[in-house]
Amino acid sequence: MTSPPPSLDLHPIFRSNRDIELAMRQFLFRAKQSGAPMAEIIPGRGSGQLRQRVLTFLDQRHIRRLYARREVDPKNPGRVLIWF
């Protein structure tokens, strides 16, 4: 049985921009170092503003170098999948 992919739930910290950026940055470094093929960030469904912030963060040039590709889960728009 395979273990579930590393996951970051942003619900508890959604109000603080600085906390969100720091949590995502630390999470990406840890997930990449763990050797997992995929990770997920959960901004939740809502209005989509938090998801857009996550995607904007992931599209920064220096962050983009950490992963191979990213996409919003087609079955659950409240999840962003990241492949290393």
pTM: 0.89
Give the CATH number for residue 48. Answer: 3.30.1370
Domain that holds residue 12: 7-83
Who has greater pLDDT, 67 or 5? 67
Question: Total domain count for the chain?
Answer: 1
Is 1 a member of any domain?
no
Is 2 a member of any domain?
no
Output the pLDDT for position 1. Answer: 55
pLDDT in tens, 46-58: 888 999 999 999 9
Output the pLDDT for position 75. Answer: 93
| Those residues with Cβ within 8 angstroms of residue 24's Cβ, 6 or more apart along the chain or in another chain | 8, 10, 41, 54, 57, 58
Contact 8, 29 (CB under 8 A): no
- Rounded to an integer, what is the distance from CA 12 to the centroid of its chain? 14
Is 61 a member of any domain?
yes
